[in-house]
Amino acid sequence: MDDFGAIYDRMSANYSAIVNMMGVIYSQIQNNSGNSQLLDTLQELGDIAKGMLQSQISFTETYCKDSIKDSLVSNLIDRYDTLQYELNKTNGRTL
């Protein structure tokens, strides 16, 4: 696929936008720890972000050149694992 790089980069930009939104909400949670709606919103955005990463992993496995595929997929899996860890940590907190 000739446009792989452009599509991959756009997928990464969309993921980053969601993560930035999550950061804003996380800051709001820190300032208003009794607001469970904010925590729910953070978790829902996290689910969307995880879905985006899963799609990007599938896209990369299908269309990426073999020479860089393993590296890109490994980086995406690391992002996914980090996101999952942070969501679990945030969800387990008593706010």
- Distance of alpha carbon 68 from alpha carbon 43, whole angstroms: 32
- Three-state DSSP at 63 gives helix
The phi and psi torsions of 40 (rounded to 5 degrees) equal -60, -40
Mean pLDDT of 38-63: 96
Res. 95 pLDDT band, cuts 50 70 90: very low
Mean pLDDT of 68-80: 97
Beta strands in 2-61 (DSSP E): none
Residue 18: C-alpha distances to residues 3, 33, 62 (Å): 23, 21, 24
pLDDT at 48 over 60: yes
Q: Are the C-beta atoms of 72 and 60 separated by less than 8 Å?
A: yes
